[in-house]
Chains A and B, each alone.
Chain A
Amino acid sequence: MANAAEFLQEDLTDGGQILRLSGSFTIALIGDVDGRLRDLSADMRKIDLSAVEHMDTVGAWLVHRTAKESGAEIVGADKDASRLLQAVSGADQTDIPPRPHPPSFERFLAEVGHGVIISFTTLLQFLGFVGQVVKASFILAMNPGRFRWHAVVQHFDMVGVRALGIIGLMSFLIGIVIAQQGAVQLRQFGAEVFTINLIGRLTFRELGILMTAIMVAGRSGSAFAAQIGTMKITEEIDAMRTIGVVPAEALVVPRVIAAVMMMPLLGVYASLMAIIGGGILCWVVLEIPPTTFVQRLREVTPMTDFWIGVIKAPVFGAIIAMAGCFQGMQVHGNAEQVGLKTTAAVVQAIFLVIVLDAFFAIFFSEIGWN
């Protein structure tokens, strides 16, 4: 094993000092020599390298820096050492400019401004995107021959059929939770039987569709953004454009149609699963037999609740698919963007769905569908 880097200071006869380096001036053996060399303050005239066993660029840099700062002359360097010193000394001619670091208040203002600009441009771009999709839909409606049935069917499978398991399980459990929590609260008034009203109306009107929308946004909205974003990075979308294929027609419209068609089906399915879950809990805990449960459900749940769910679902589907495709199209540059935009797609989709749901709730109450 080589010796660690070390140095000695000796007085020269004609005044000043000589620095005698010894050992191995390499990155692994440099130890604390760097700090000690920085702290030297004597009048250094010469640096003697003749006892240095081995040197790499880090050692050469230390020698070079010390020599430069003290104005000392380097003596006793062998061929390799001179070459290394020569190599690292070139870095002197280039100075790294300090990193720009504006004051924090200025940075804060800049970030707020940037955020506002981004929000508005994103809103405008999203509107433009929706317009593109509508236009592409009309063109496709005029030329049904260009419609990509195959892609639509494939997305039916991805968005709808493959989601059945997870959405069914989730809704079933939610039904159980609603029934259980409702029963506990209503029991205080001796009104346990109203648990059925709670289950029937809540699932069809709100939760069945809303939870399905959230699940579809997480499963399919994110997948749309990631697929299209990856296609942007690999220049597939540019390739389509050069061939004359309109990306909005080929990629976006099939996905939007698939989501619009699948959402009502999934929503009704989710509501039914929630009712089955709630019914089972009522049977086991409240001892309401299934026949009574179904009969009471039909009495208390108006048909309008079903229609409310079925009307909302396609709108939510369109929002989710368009947010996913829009964010996918917004990807520029590197793979990191795909992740960011996928997250943005899910957040945007769920946010818009909940905002719209609030509008729908007020609207349907106003028109008397209570």
Chain B
Amino acid sequence: MDQPSIISVQGLCNSFGEQIIHQDLNLEVRRGEILGVVGGSGTGKSVLMRSIIGLQEPVAGKIRVFDEGMIRKEEDEATDVRRRWGVLFQGGALFSTLTVAENVQVPLREFYPDFSKALLDEIAHYKIYLSGLPADAAHKFPSELSGGMRKRAGLARALAIDPELLFLDEPTAGLDPIGAANFDNLTRDLKETLGLTVFLITHDLDTLYAICDRVAVIADKKVIAVGAIEELLAIDHPWINEYFSGPRGRAARRGHDKRNNPQPGRS
């Protein structure tokens, strides 16, 4: 393989009691790509992410991240993997008793206890800048931030230890369209600058068109298709057709085409 996969999920089964969430789910994430994961509500997108990062014990299946098995790993195990990824949870999941700058420093202190206070402050400063927050947000507590700022602060924390792999759980949900577009640009810039691999769960069709290299569709308890959006459009599956060819899907597509091939004289 020319692009070795960073995440490899094979035969994943998850269930809550009687309810089966995933059955024989397979997925590969390649190095350096932004993989969008889409699916209807309740199809287990977040459960898939939680399984990969080890928060959810699957019933069966193999999960490898950076070529290390992640099943049945305790919090203090697999630290070599943990220091190479960053996770942005839906609500930001900031530690509410710490300021934004202290939040960013938590993973640094955990993995690199030798760093001096001055260096930690400097790193927090430029990470907060990179995530697009104003500098005076550094000393604010999460409760003093808006939803969008909390997500950016969560991103700054996820980026704190210069991860190679970034998990984003619905980063643009709940943001206004301008904030969402900014967040998309930020994700793409960071990916290009830092060479990140991004695992992105989203409902946002604009995000898919704007930044995703490939898209994985979850339906019927498994990943039914993975590929660039053009490839997915060629697949004949009712959910995919409805998703990409519904009114919102068409609108997102038109917007994307217009941005890429601006035609003067037409609006």
Contact = CB atoms under 8 A, between A and B. Distances in A.
Interface of A: 26-28, 31-32, 34-35, 38, 56-58, 61, 65, 80, 83-84, 87-88, 90-91, 94-97, 99-100, 333-334, 336
B110 to A, nearest CB: 12
A180 to B, nearest CB: 46
Contacts of A65: 122
Given A28-B83, A65-B122, A84-B194, A96 B130 contact: no
A79 to B, nearest CB: 11
A68 B116 CA distance: 20
Contacts of A35: 116
Nearest to A60: B126
Nearest to A38: B118
B96 A26 contact: no
A83 to B, nearest CB: 5
17 contacts: A35-B116, A56-B162, A57-B127, A57-B130, A61-B122, A61-B126, A83-B192, A84-B193, A90-B129, A90-B130, A91-B125, A94-B125, A94-B135, A96-B101, A97-B136, A97-B139, A333-B143
B174 to A, nearest CB: 15
B199 to A, nearest CB: 19
B138 A96 contact: yes
A80 B135 contact: no
A15 B90 CA distance: 55
10 pairs of A and B residues whose beta carbons are closest in the complex: A91-B129, A91-B126, A94-B135, A56-B162, A99-B139, A27-B162, A96-B135, A87-B193, A96-B138, A88-B126
A34 B115 contact: yes
B1 interface: no
Contacts of A57: 126-127, 130, 162, 194
B247 interface: no
Interface in B113-158: 114-116, 118-119, 121-123, 125-130, 134-136, 138-139, 143
Nearest to A31: B114
A95 B143 CA distance: 23
Contacts of A88: 126, 130
Contacts, number: 64
A311 to B, nearest CB: 45
Given A58-B123, A80-B195, A97-B135, A26 B162 contact: yes
A120 B195 CA distance: 57
Contacts of A38: 118
B86 to A, nearest CB: 12
Contact of B96 (A56, A90, A95, A336): A336
A8 B227 CA distance: 48
B67 to A, nearest CB: 15
Given A26-B162, A28-B83, A61 B123 contact: yes
Contacts of A90: 129-130
A83 B196 CA distance: 14
A34 B162 contact: no
A26 B164 CA distance: 12
Given A65-B122, A96-B138, A87 B130 contact: yes
A88 B96 CA distance: 27
Contacts of B189: 87
A90 B134 CA distance: 12
B239 interface: no
Interface string B13-41: 00000000000000000000000000000
A336 B135 CA distance: 26
A334 B135 CA distance: 24
Contacts of A95: 135
A32 B134 CA distance: 30
Nearest to A35: B116
Contacts of A56: 162, 194
Contacts of B122: 61, 65
B135 to A, nearest CB: 4
B96 A334 contact: yes
Contacts of B48: none
Interface string B163-195: 000000000000000000000000001001111
Contacts of B194: 56-57, 84
Given A56-B194, A57-B127, 13 more contacts: A26-B162, A32-B114, A34-B119, A57-B126, A61-B126, A84-B193, A88-B126, A96-B125, A96-B136, A96-B139, A97-B139, A99-B139, A100-B139
Contacts of A97: 135-136, 139
B9 interface: no
A91 B129 CA distance: 6
A334 B138 CA distance: 20
B161 interface: yes
A94 B137 CA distance: 11
A214 B146 CA distance: 40
A60 to B, nearest CB: 9
Nearest to A84: B193
Contacts of B134: 94
Contacts of B161: 27
A58 B108 CA distance: 11
A192 B101 CA distance: 68
